[in-house]
Amino acid sequence: MIRLIQNEWMKISYRIGTWIMVGLLVLGMIATLIFAVKTNDGDQASGDWKTELQSINKAKKQELKEDNIGFYKRSLEKDIAINEYRIKHDLPPADQFGKNAWAYVKINADLLQLVGVFVIIIAATIVSAEYKHGTIKLLLIRPPSRMKILLSKYFTVQLYSLFLIAVLFILSFILGAIFFGLNHDYVHLAYQNGEVIERSQFANMVSYYLAHCAMFVVLGTLSFAISTVFRSEAISIAISVLAYVVGASITSILMFFFDWAKYLLFANDPAQYFADTPTFIEDMSLGFSLIVLVIYWAIFLAIALIVFQKREVKTGS
């Protein structure tokens, strides 16, 4: 299996498109770096931030007295609790500091959406490309079973996903440390189960990026299954990218109106539990979302394995 994975890794490493994706990711980081440097205000800690937070809380408490329900109400409660905690424990908010390495890593977290598209493209083509170029028969006449061949391609997709996320995280931290330094004064606060907890910037960012890893595993599996079923690069990429771009937006709308939407794939992105906003549906939790994602992952992978095992091999798109 390891030899098969090495072979698949060599295949995608020889593709020009693979390194173009890495190059685009690096260009994205350079663009955000330029923006961050030009908008960095340096140390702002001299402001009367406690009075400002007290004023903000007063306005938010007034809003709570109105008929606010659901997501907006929980968002207000979270903001009020965190502001009160900062005032009580003398912990200035982020806008009282200049940017630091971890702030830059957080800015680049938006580029994870680009990573998601790249992972989907690789997963959507790694099987269908074999059909397109007529090399699938050469693969299947080898001693390894069909299942081993398909799993080697699947694990390669997941390794590429981890590779892109590692490049984004590590390079972001290095660039951030060089240009902004390591400021340890700011303390990140999270709001969980009605309580405010302190979390280091490192732990918060690592958790956020790892949460995206979990989602990309499932998205990569979905795209991989589509590639196995349709055998066409164009169709596989189109369906996978469309599902990724439109699926999240449609799910967000449905979650405003229906509780059953919490069982949908894009409603259970683990990253939402490490973001600065509460979940759309109150009774959702990280454990619940992980269980839902595991079920989707198992279904998508099973479809890919069953179809690849039983289908007659035909080359061409």
Q: What is the pLDDT of residue 316?
A: 45
**pLDDT tens string 45-70:** 556 888 889 999 999 888 887 756 66
Could you tell me which of 214, 156, 213, 231 has the C-alpha nearest to residue 1? 156
Cα(201)–Cα(177) distance, integer angstroms? 13
Strands (E), the chain: 188-192, 195-199
Q: How confident is the model at residue 128 (pLDDT cuts 50, 70, 90)?
A: confident
Q: What is the pLDDT of residue 72?
A: 75
Q: What is the pLDDT of residue 70?
A: 67
Residue of 233 and 68 predicted with greater confidence = 233
Q: How confident is the model at residue 33 (pLDDT cuts 50, 70, 90)?
A: very high
Q: Would you say residue 207 has pLDDT above 80?
A: yes
Contact between residue 100 and residue 183 where contact means Cβ atoms under 8 Å apart: yes
Residue of 128 and 125 predicted with greater confidence = 125
Q: What is the mean pLDDT of residues 227-236?
A: 82
Q: Would you say residue 312 has pLDDT above 70?
A: no
Q: What is the pLDDT of residue 171?
A: 95
Cα(102)–Cα(259) distance, integer angstroms? 35
Q: What is the mean pLDDT of residues 90-94?
A: 86
Q: Would you say residue 228 has pLDDT above 70?
A: yes
For strand 188-192 and strand 195-199, is the pairing parallel, antiparallel, or unpaired? Answer: antiparallel
Q: How confident is the model at residue 315 (pLDDT cuts 50, 70, 90)?
A: very low
> How crowded is residue 128: how many other Cβ atoms within 10 Å of its Cβ?
25
**Which range has the top average pLDDT, 108-117, 259-268, 291-300?**
291-300
Give CA angle at 194 (291, 101), nearest 5°.
Answer: 80
Cα(135)–Cα(138) distance, integer angstroms? 5
Domain extents for the chain? 2-42+101-310, 46-91
Q: What is the pLDDT of residue 69?
A: 63
Q: What is the mean pLDDT of residues 76-94?
A: 89
Cα(200)–Cα(129) distance, integer angstroms? 44
Contact between residue 188 and residue 200 where contact means Cβ atoms under 8 Å apart: yes
Could you say which DSSP state residue 46 is in?
T
Q: Would you say residue 98 has pLDDT above 80?
A: no
- Least confident span in 1-5, 6-10, 120-124, 139-143: 139-143
Q: What is the pLDDT of residue 199?
A: 83
